[in-house]
Amino acid sequence: MIKRNCSMKFKSIEKSAIKHSDGETVTSKKLAITMEHNDMILCHGGSNSHELNTEIIKTVEEKLLDIEERKLVRKRVVNVLIESLSNLTNHSCKTADALCQTAVTLTQAANYYVIQCTNRIKKNEIPVLEERLKKLAVLDNKNLGEVYRQVLIQNKPSTKGGAGLGLIDLTRKANGNVSYEFTEKNENCFFFTLSININRLKAQ
Amino acid sequence: MKTFDYPLTEGRPSISLNHKEGILTISGRSILPDSDIVYKPIMDLLDNYFDQNDKIVCNVQLEYFNSCSARSLMQLFQMLDKHALKKKHITTIWHYEEEDDDSYEFGLDLQTSLRHPVELTEIQNKKPD
């Protein structure tokens, strides 16, 4: 089910994002990743690039291997993270003064992994995005699979460099356990937060 | 015709075309921000390949791929479909790791959506010594 999250979670992301955003170039040695902090596996905020995403993915893979997570779950978490990071890179509303453009966290609970991504979005982009999210929310996994296949066959690239498949793919891999929130930053700009839950026990 | 080999780099798949054997191999990871840059030249090369060759086996073994790459792969396979209609012998073998249900499902999507034969082959996990 797609539902709106409480704002507390969002605020915690925003804080960590600001904390790690120093405006300097981020290199692999300077990744703003906090490991082993409570249930937090990954927390990154700031600029976002393909190179940085590659480093983040590699680090998370190592962490999931360290904690001996099941391969099925490990691969699904990494798959969802890959798609989430691509979404952030492709769809974040970039502004010249933006110290904090994106934020991503990965936390673990007894039964779930939660990937939470935040990016800026223009106000006028919200209705189309929300409509897509609502349409996906009512589909079961079988129908999500069929929608994914149809979009794949049609093969139309989206206007922002993605494939138009990302959101469907994320929802499908999370068995529909996706929630979202729009939080106003100013008159024209909002924060969009997408939370994806991956069940550790029922993944199959 | 020149055989080419892209090196395996972070997020970029290894792609090679063996003209002699008629085997296209795509392996590694395909996590690309703009996958057309990698896959379009291969599609152009394959178009020329079929001027002189009648068959190809397309071996795909990807550990991870993003949706942008999924779109490009589908474009490549649809292009192969067009050659299959021209009586070229085309087989795609989609290799997926044991327990990787997401990759297996994508293979099923290909099997359902394409005209040429798509075989699904499971890669067994290596057992520790």
Mean pLDDT (10-residue bins), chain A, 204 residues: 35 33 35 55 83 89 91 92 88 61 88 92 90 92 93 73 76 90 88 92 64
Determine the pLDDT at residue A49: 81
pLDDT in tens, A31-48: 444 445 458 898 888 877
Nearest residue on chain B to A170, alpha-carbon basis: B67
Determine the pLDDT at residue A175: 86
- The residue among B10, B66, B113, B114 with the most chain A CBs within 10 A of its CB, best to mutate, is B66
Determine the pLDDT at residue A29: 35
**Looking at the domain assignment, is residue A45 inside a domain?**
yes
In this structure, are strands B89-97 and B118-123 parallel, antiparallel, or unpaired? parallel
**Looking at the domain assignment, is residue A2 inside a domain?**
no
Going edge to edge, which strands form the sheet with A178-184? Answer: A40-46, A102-108, A112-122, A189-199, A178-184
Q: Report CA torsion sign: A22, A26, A27, A33.
A: positive
**Looking at the domain assignment, is residue A24 inside a domain?**
yes
**Looking at the domain assignment, is residue A204 inside a domain?**
no
Q: pLDDT at residue B7 above 80?
A: no
**Looking at the domain assignment, is residue A29 inside a domain?**
yes
**Looking at the domain assignment, is residue A178 inside a domain?**
yes
Contacts of B10 in chain A (CB under 8 A): 54
In the block, residue with structure tokens 């079929």: B50
Determine the pLDDT at residue A110: 82
Determine the pLDDT at residue A90: 77
What is the span of the domain harbouring residue A22? 7-199
Q: Which stretch of DSSP H or E encloses residue A131?
A: helix A126-137
Nearest residue on chain A to B76, alpha-carbon basis: A155
Alpha-carbon gap, residue B36 to B34, rounded angstroms: 6
Considering only CB atoms, B33 lies closest to which of A50, A71, A78, namely A50
Cβ contacts below 8 Å, chain A against chain B, sum to: 78
Determine the pLDDT at residue B4: 57
Tokens describing residue A116 = 């939470």
Determine the pLDDT at residue A18: 30
Q: Measuring CA to CA, which residue among A119, A117, A134 is closest to residue A2?
A: A134
Determine the pLDDT at residue A188: 84
Alpha-carbon gap, residue B30 to A144, rounded angstroms: 23
CB contact under 8 A, A72 and B99: yes
Query: What average pLDDT does chain B have?
Result: 89
The answer for residues whose C-beta is within 8 angstroms of residue A175's C-beta and 6 or more apart is A141, A199, A202
Domains contained in chain B, CATH given = 5-123 (3.30.750)
Determine the pLDDT at residue A19: 32
Our count of domains for chain A comes to 1
pLDDT in tens, B17-56: 998 899 999 999 999 988 998 999 999 999 899 999 999 9
CB contact under 8 A, B68 and A161: yes
Residues A42 and A16: beta-carbon distance below 8 Å? no
The answer for residues whose C-beta is within 8 angstroms of residue B27's C-beta and 6 or more apart is B8, B13, B14, B59, B60, B61, B62
CA A110 to chain centre: 20
pLDDT > 70 in chain B, percent: 90
Q: pLDDT at residue B122 above 90?
A: yes
Considering only CB atoms, B101 lies closest to which of A72, A163, A166, namely A72
Residue A151 belongs to domain with CATH number: 3.30.565.10
Residues A35 and A66: beta-carbon distance below 8 Å? no
Alpha-carbon gap, residue A26 to A17, rounded angstroms: 13
Determine the pLDDT at residue B76: 96
Determine the pLDDT at residue A89: 79
Question: How far off is chain A from B47, nearest CA to CA, in Å?
Answer: 19
